[in-house]
Amino acid sequence: MSRSSYGGQAVIEGVMMRGKKKMAVAVRRTPEEIVLKLQDVHSATERFRVLKTPLIRGFVALIESLVMGIKTLTYSANQVVEGEGEGETITPLEMGLSVAFAFAAGIGLFFLLPVGLAHLLKAYVSGPFLQNLLEGLFRVLIFLLYVVAISLMKDIQRVFEYHGAEHKTIHTYEAGQDLIVENARKYSTLHPRCGTSFLLFVMVISILVFSFLGETNLGTRLLSRVLLLPIVAGVSYEFLKLTGKYQHLAVMRFLSAPGLWLQKLTTREPDDSQLEVAICALQKVLEVEEGEFFIGKEICPALHLVVEEDCWR
């Protein structure tokens, strides 16, 4: 049986798993209870086939992932708050504004700041090629320092453990094994299709894309970094799909290696309770999408699993 591609995302005390038509978010609301929400996935690429065009589909996927990320993070945060019985829930607007601010800050930090730093050294490094290369090196360095910094935060480390649980669960499914904790434990927390690898590709591929602009003034360079971001994201997406699909080729494993190394910072070894959450999310998506072809055990046996009543909308 061919294995369909499934992906996911770590959220607060949980994991989101996405299939072709369904998405499930499983959150450990209390030590004894996992709450799971299932909903349809509506991609713009299904309504407008032109959006499936290579390069375009990558930017569309990025935007849809951001929107989905806002919804799943809001849901998971509110479930944890309810489980603790204290604090106010977060509205989608509040989470959306937070993510929008983070996205804007990310563009400033990873794209505009490197331009400024390279410009300051223009007297020592002249010429468009060397300027662009220096800018790219600053971009990668800032990105690496950022990842290292957040990986030291206790709350983020907890999310990274769920990130590792997500990858182990996907590996288990792709290996054709039953989705149980005993099987998932033995797999790696690193995966070639991870978003961390995608971001690293964005940092590196941007050097190549921006090099086509030639000599420009500072204002044009700053503006071009924002306007060309969709192209950079599109190329990076295609590159990620290519390397993930052909991992049996040595050259693709070589190209994937830096992203996998970086994932050692963005993933942590999960415990069994975190693997249970990730397995619940993927099992539910598989149960709905693949029906009788679903490989695995009964959905989350021996756990107190609460499935949201309104999640079938």
Q: Which H/E stretch holds residue 23?
A: strand 22-30
Sheet with 14-18, side-by-side order of all strands: 7-11, 14-18, 22-30, 33-40, 304-307
Other CB atoms within 10 Å distance of the CB of residue 145: 10
Least confident of 34-43, 113-122, 262-271: 34-43
How many angstroms separate the Cα of 247 from the Cα of each of 33, 239, 266? 37, 12, 21
With b for 16 or more beta-carbon neighbours within 10 A and e for fewer, the 37-47 pattern comes to: bbbeeebeeee
Beta bridge partners of 8: 17
| pLDDT above 90 coverage of the chain, percent | 44
- Looking at residue 290, what is its pLDDT? 77
Could you tell me if 276 and 181 are in contact, meaning their C-beta atoms sit under 8 angstroms apart? yes
**Contact at 8 Å (CB) between 15 and 277?**
yes
Res 299 pLDDT > 50:
no
Question: What number is the average pLDDT over the span 49-58?
Answer: 85
Count Cα neighbours of 79 within 13 Å in the Cβ-side half-sphere: 26
**Facing residues of 11 across strands?**
14
Q: Is residue 195 exposed (0-12), middle (13-18) or buried (19+ Cβ within 10 Å)?
A: buried
In whole angstroms, give the CA distance from residue 310 to residue 293: 26
User: Mean pLDDT, the chain, as a whole number?
Assistant: 85
In order of 3, 19, 48, the CA distances from 57 in angstroms are: 22, 17, 11
Residues in the chain: 313
Question: Given this model, what pLDDT does residue 313 score?
Answer: 33
Residue 300: the pLDDT is: 55
> Burial level of 118, CB count in 10 A (0-12/13-18/19+)?
buried
DSSP 112: I
CA distance 215 to 131: 9
Q: What is the pLDDT of residues 200-238, one digit of tens each?
A: 999 999 988 888 887 788 899 899 998 998 999 999 999
CB 257 within 8 A of CB 267: no
pLDDT interval class at 308 (50, 70, 90): low
Q: In the structure, what pLDDT confidence band is assigned to residue 194 with cuts at 50, 70 and 90?
A: very high
Handedness of CA 53, 9, 72, 149 (dihedral sign): negative
Nearest one of 286, 274, 203, 197 to 242, comparing CA atoms: 197
Give the closest residue to 275 by CA, choosing from 142, 161, 181: 181
Average pLDDT over residues 299-304: 48
How would residue 279 be classed by pLDDT, with cut points 50, 70 and 90? Answer: very high
Which residue type does 18 have? R
pTM reported for the whole predicted model = 0.86
What are 142-166's pLDDT values in tens digits?
Answer: 999 999 999 898 889 999 999 999 9
* 8: nearest Cα among 204, 236, 234, 278: 278
Which tens digits make up the pLDDT trace of 16-47?
999 888 899 999 988 888 899 888 888 888 88
Alpha-carbon separation of residue 153 from 197, 266, 278 (angstroms): 21, 11, 22
pLDDT tens figures, 55-104: 888 888 888 888 888 888 888 888 888 877 666 677 777 777 887 888 88
> What residues are paired with 23 via a beta bridge?
18, 39
